[in-house]
Structure 1
């Protein structure tokens, strides 16, 4: 079927909308605004502290800052624009934002996930292989650049395929603009979404959990060569404890987009 005919058939469909009450709108508006505010201020503070102190500019903190940049991008460019569509069930923003917002969301999620994988590898080197020299900053910067490049490349189709359609609302006898993918019923689009789910969730989840299970085994179940009060052993235990929050952060971070 011709793409123009498909677009026309979509645009002439009727849609019944569930209108939220005033109280519901206010509650959801406050929640969305609070999430955006905390995301922007919290991540901006992390980035500021990192660049303000040379002592804190370590490899581990560089990866944390990369996570903060990805989250800040979502807080500034995705959440504020998407909440109106979610609450009002209409797209009142410029048509270009219909492509930008899903693109930013997908890039941010991909960057976060790939950075968590790199962070787990860094912890593995430090704890399990007892590497005295962590990854060099130059090496990490190259990895970060690669992460952003791959994330952008993977996300372009998701943004490009979204556009604004006009639907008929029978309750008000008017048209309702909505931001939707153009090829949602196409096989390639479904395959692409499965591909995103695999590389953004299932594969990273297996890799991250596997690495941290090995780290935990080496720290907690393998007797240390010296006393358990050895400084390095205690530092490794703290690493495992902090890593638990990272493992917990991963499914929460990814499910926010599902």
Structure 2
């Protein structure tokens, strides 16, 4: 499903079932040795997905160990992103010569747990348009979509900056018909490795099989040099 939100240069693997913990390298097993069985299964499965996706790029299998703030450490010359929620795991990877940064996220298509959570993850401008979108398109839990979009933004942001990004540091707007979103950064944006100053990120979204899916792919320097945003994918959503 999530591959439809990303360009063809991105290799994606997803699954609705967990893999055995035996797919983990010893270094990976050590990281979750004291975790619950559920945590060990999701950790193993999403890394199994990542290695399958890397194989499509011709990258040999290797441990995928968390780096700063838990971000996965990818092989040299590769960018990637992973996501997991109840009943779904996925990984997306690309050559850094094709894509500068990736961010993917999957969430249950259910409302956020409480009003307090909504206040935490949204800014006033977003809370202004959420009721209107909910009335027009009741099949989508728009608060959860905003949360997912910000998770994808952070996953694309962190490998470039090495810095935290708070929920209130980005303003999400959504196109319900095109199934795209844009995140305007409310803090100074990073400079990409190829010298572009970013002021926002754009991506695609979908609601499928009870899930909200969001994805961002920042093209490398060969793309048109519009520093204001990421570009929509080349595939339809």
Q: Is the shorter-chain TM-score for this pair beyond 0.5, marking a shared fold?
A: no
Is the strand fraction higher in 1 or 2? 2
Structure with a larger share of its residues in helix: 1
Q: Which has the larger radius of gyration?
A: 1
TM-score (ref. length: structure 1): 0.28
